[in-house]
Amino acid sequence: MATLTNTVATNTMTKDPILKVEHLSMRFGGLMAINDLSFEAYRGDITALIGPNGAGKTTVFNCVTGFYKPTMGMITMRQKAGKEFLLERMTDFEVNRDAKVARTFQNIRLFSGLTVLENLLVAQHNMLMKASGYTVLGLLGMPAYKKAAAESVDIARYWLEKADLIDRADDPAGDLPYGAQRRLEIARAMCTGPEFLCLDEPAAGLNPRESLALNELLRSIRKDSGTSILLIEHDMSVVMEISDHVVVLEYGQKISDGTPDHVKNDPKVIAAYLGVEDDEVEEVIEEIEDTQGGPH
Ligand SMILES: Nc1ncnc2c1ncn2[C@@H]1O[C@H](COP(=O)(O)OP(=O)(O)OP(=O)(O)O)[C@@H](O)[C@H]1O
């Protein structure tokens, strides 16, 4: 099995996997976008999925979150309480509601005409409907609904504080600067109480200050809520700064798996990013160092 021969440079003995991807393949017509991919994400970790354009990162995300049905393979998520879900057999709605996996998308998908607070309340719609007993009478006055409604405002306020957006709670979401909209999307996903949060390029288009604010939010999610995070990211400063574990894809296969330091120095990863063969890596790195005036 090709994937098992790759080095996993993390201490997997002490880690508790929240997600296991086993022999995942996804074919689009004649194109094998993902080819026999296996990796794990560990509970409480921030795991980054990286790789050059077209490597298959978004396809993996879409399989994990129920948007695509994989051609082959198994995706198991195990919740903290021990309940297991085979995500490849579930719809995107079930993955979110039952397995408690939330996601954001490459393109921001907020309700731009609703306020910042309203965006977070809409995200809790399922919980509120459940509390209403799915009846109009419930909506109109049942104590359970009133309690749930008050709780959902508290949850929204909590995440607005965390995302540093509390001062903008009553502004239309569409009026926020880009970086703040990204944080609002993450806050919205967190309002659904996920055990596993999947973020598709959260730092895309952010300026350095917004990137720092994002890093801070993700670190606080990991620390305070214990939610495990899987993110796709091109911004290496974000990946290296906040990830506990990095999985690198190229042409739909795993080429490296380990700590940020391990993958950063892995010749296969360097070769993939520079677009050269493995045996040419050292030569190319020497050339780069020469043009930059020596090693850094
Ligand atoms: N729905 C689809 N139909 C056909 N081909 C697809 C589809 N989705 C992805 N692909 C192809 O699968 C391959 C992997 O694409 P994917 O978007 O997963 O890569 P990626 O690593 O996320 O790339 P990027 O970093 O550019 O977003 C690409 O060759 C892409 O063109």
Listed by start position, the domains of the chain span: 1-100+196-265, 110-192
Residue showing tokens 């979150």: 65
- Sheet with 72-78: list strands edge to edge: 31-42, 17-28, 72-78, 84-86
What's the pLDDT score for residue 140?
61
Q: Which of 35, 59, 201, 254 to mutate to test the pocket of ligand 1 (most atoms within 8 A of CB)?
A: 59
How many A from CA of 260 to the centre of ligand 1? 24
Q: Which atom of ligand 1 is nearest to the CA of 106?
A: 27
Instruction: Give, for all 296 residues of the chain, the pLDDT tens digit.
Output: 333 334 455 445 578 999 999 999 999 999 999 999 999 999 999 999 999 989 999 999 999 999 999 999 999 999 999 999 999 999 999 999 999 999 987 777 788 788 999 888 887 766 656 655 556 555 566 666 667 667 878 889 999 999 999 999 889 998 999 899 999 999 999 998 999 999 999 988 889 889 999 999 999 999 888 899 999 988 888 888 899 999 999 999 999 999 999 998 888 888 887 666 666 666 666 665 665 555 54
What's the pLDDT score for residue 70?
97
The residues, ordered by sequence, that sit 6+ positions from 179 with a Cβ below 8 Å of its Cβ are 206, 207, 209, 210, 211, 213, 214
What's the pLDDT score for residue 5?
37
Q: Which of 27, 28, 239 to mutate to test the pocket of ligand 1 (most atoms within 8 A of CB)?
A: 28
The residues, ordered by sequence, that sit 6+ positions from 146 with a Cβ below 8 Å of its Cβ are none
Pull the structure tokens for residue 63: 């399989």
Do 25 and 73 form a contact (C-beta atoms < 8 A)? yes
What's the pLDDT score for residue 236?
82
List ligand 1's pocket residues with C-beta within 6 A.
28, 31, 33, 51, 53-59
How many A from CA of 105 to the centre of ligand 1? 14
- Atom 28, ligand 1: which residue's CA is nearest? 54
C-alpha 256, offset from chain centre: 19
- Sheet with 101-103: list strands edge to edge: 8-9, 253-258, 245-250, 46-50, 228-232, 196-200, 101-103
What's the pLDDT score for residue 121?
86
Residue type at 11? Answer: N
CATH of the domain spanning 1-100+196-265: 3.40.50.300
Q: How far apart are CA 81 and CA 137, in angstroms?
A: 34
A 10 A CB-CB count for 209 gives 9
DSSP H helix total and E strand total for the chain: 12, 11
What's the pLDDT score for residue 123?
74
What's the pLDDT score for residue 112?
79
Instruction: Give the three-class secondary structure for 28.
Output: strand
Q: Which atom of ligand 1 is nearest to the CA of 59?
A: 18
